[in-house]
Structure 1
Amino acid sequence: MSTSKPTLTLADFSEAAARLNCEVPAIRAVCQVEAPRGGFNPDGTPVTLFEGHKFHKFTGGRFDAQAPDLSYPKWTKKFYGKDWMQEQDRLQRAMALDRDAALRSASWGKFQIMGFNHAVVGFPTVQKFVNAMYTGEREHLLAFVQYVVNNNLVGTLRRRDWAAFALGYNGEGYAENKYDVKMAAAYLTFKKKEA
């Protein structure tokens, strides 16, 4: 059975750029920085990153002692998996403790949208959001468009104000990971390819 999923086309990027009234290279820059290896793992599951500080928040810290690598009060990269399989394992173990909280505590797909944002991107439940993330990268892109619109980030993307966009998209720790610098560099690369 094939594990390949539909990937984004230039037409998909163009449609999203038209909806946001921004440049295609701007969207592609975000895409490149968020999930440089694509939206799916080799086994066909969406790329995820499980955040233990969110799991701690959504479960009231009740698993901190039982699973200190999955539930902790402050953000850290210390427990991130070294590869996609370890990340899948972390998510599965968290799901065994509290499925809904685990799904909300992971970022999903090509644009790494957190599960707790399911309503912001148009899904009534986190499970419906996750189901959509399994279908293809077009759904990842549509969720991204909704996220940008509903979080008032359209202007920052249009202006390519990468620091303001990264703050709104990645949170206050964006500078530590240099998201703004990486997006600016990726934008220039894609812009040159267009010329």
Structure 2
Amino acid sequence: MTILRLGDVGADVRELQRLLRERGAQLEMTGDFDAATLAAVRAAQARYGLVVDGIAGPKTLLALQRDTRQPAHLSAADLQRAADVLEVPLAAVRAVNEVESRGSGFLADGRPVILFERHIMFRQLKVAGRDADALARQYPNLVNAARGGYAGGAAEHMRLARAADIDEACALAAASWGLFQVMGYHWERLGYPSVQAFSACMRDSEAAQLDAFVRFILADPVLHKALKARRWPTFASLYNGPAYRENLYDVKLARAFARYDAEEKEPA
């Protein structure tokens, strides 16, 4: 997955600059992602209705190639609606989207990004009254008390399909879905009528995936309060777990928020 940022150099940047020039930007094809390229990327993102972050990822590159935003992709308006619902500055939602999302909620073939968790499948089967231990002996890569067995990418859908043959509801609940990798087993707490309905929404669009994330925040008053107060260490600890410091999630969130906040306060 190609993701280009300010400071990057090379052939991929030169191709980005070629696409930007093709769409009307006045740029030299230097292969250097400089301030002029950043401005051109932001202008293109704004024109296509994409999230304006100056980062040229797959969605920006695809929009430039096709000269249009794909309907399933997240838009700037989607982020504004999320900010309004959460009652936080737009910069806060932009920061969380940059740091906590996977960059794209869908695979190249149009299926949502998922990760199947066999240890959650084991737990869900127990809750459903199934003999999880016997199933774990029969399908250790799909049902297991321990984490693991990941295949990554499109292969995760193969694992999910095989697990669904064992128990569809448990399998859907045992996968994390979309941009923000919200676990399926949260479906009831987040207000979905069923795990199947939750799964269908996650297959629909990145806007629907963002809505699931917003519901996740609203369902946890402490997490919501931390976001509203921009207490990034608390937010990162609750959302990412105790290992958040290893990946500097709180630092990344604080820096992204400061950058977007300053940008939004710049005079037009």
- The TM-score range, normalised by the shorter chain, is 0.7 to 0.9
Distance 2:227 2:107 in 1: 27
Higher alpha-carbon deviation: 86-95 or 50-59:
86-95
1:56 is aligned to 2:119: no
Q: Give secondary structure in 2 for the equivalent of 1:39.
A: coil
Deviation at 1:96, TM superposition (A): 1.9
Deviations along 1:140-181, one digit per CA (max 9) or x if unpaired, are 122222211111122111222223223333445545555444
User: In the alignment, does 2:184 pair up with 1:115?
Assistant: yes
What residue number does 1:163 align with? 233
What's the offset of the Cα at 1:100?
Answer: 0.7
Amino acid at match of 2:199: V
- Residue by residue over 1:51-110, the C-alpha shift from the partner in whole angstroms, topping out at 9 and shown as x without a partner, is 111111111333221222222223x4x4222x4112222222221222111100111111
- CA deviation map 1:110-160 (0-9, x unaligned): 121111111222202000111111111111122222211111122111222
Whole-Å Cα distance in 1 between the matches of residues 235 and 99 of structure 2? Answer: 13
In the TM superposition, residue 44 of structure 1 has moved relative to its aligned partner by: 1.2
Residues 1:186 and 1:79: Cα distance change in structure 2 (over 3 Å): farther
Q: CA RMSD in A?
A: 2.3
Mean Cα displacement is larger for which, 162-171 or 83-92?
162-171
Counterpart contact for 1:55–1:102, Cα < 8 Å: yes
Match of 1:13 among 79, 85, 88: 79
Q: Given the alignment, which residue of 141, 154, 166 partners 2:224? A: 154
The correspondence for 1:130, drawn from 174, 178, 199, is 199
Cα distance in 2 for partners of 1:180, 1:56 equals: 32
Instruction: Tell me, in whole angstroms, the C-alpha distance in 1 between the residues paired with 2:208 and 2:156.
Output: 22
Distance 1:98 1:142, change over 3 A: same
1:31-59, Cα deviation, whole Å (9 max, x unpaired):
23343331111111111111111111111
How many pairs are equivalent?
A: 189
The question of whether the paired residues in 1 share the 8 Å contact of 2:100 and 2:180 is answered with: yes
Structure 1 residues 11-39: Cα deviation after superposition (integer angstroms, max 9, x where no partner): 21112112212122322333233433311
TM-score (norm 1): 0.83
User: Aligned AA for 1:132?
Assistant: C
Contact 2:141 2:149 in 1 (8 A): yes
- TM-score using structure 2 length: 0.62
Structure 1 residue aligned with 2:141, among 69, 73, 77? 69
Structure-1 separation of matches of 2:231 and 2:259: 16
Q: Give 5+ residue unaligned stretches, structure 2.
A: 1-69, 127-131
Relative distance call for 1:98 and 1:129 in structure 2 (3 A) is: same
The range that moved more, 58-67 or 165-174, is 165-174
SS in 1 for 2:137: coil
Alpha carbons 1:5, 1:44 under 8 Å: kept: no
Correspondence for 2:47: none
- Would the alpha carbon gap of residues 174 and 135 (structure 1) be closer, same or farther in structure 2, given more than 3 Å must change? same
Q: Compute the displacement of 1:183 (Å).
A: 3.4
Cα distance in 2 for partners of 1:14, 1:101 equals 34
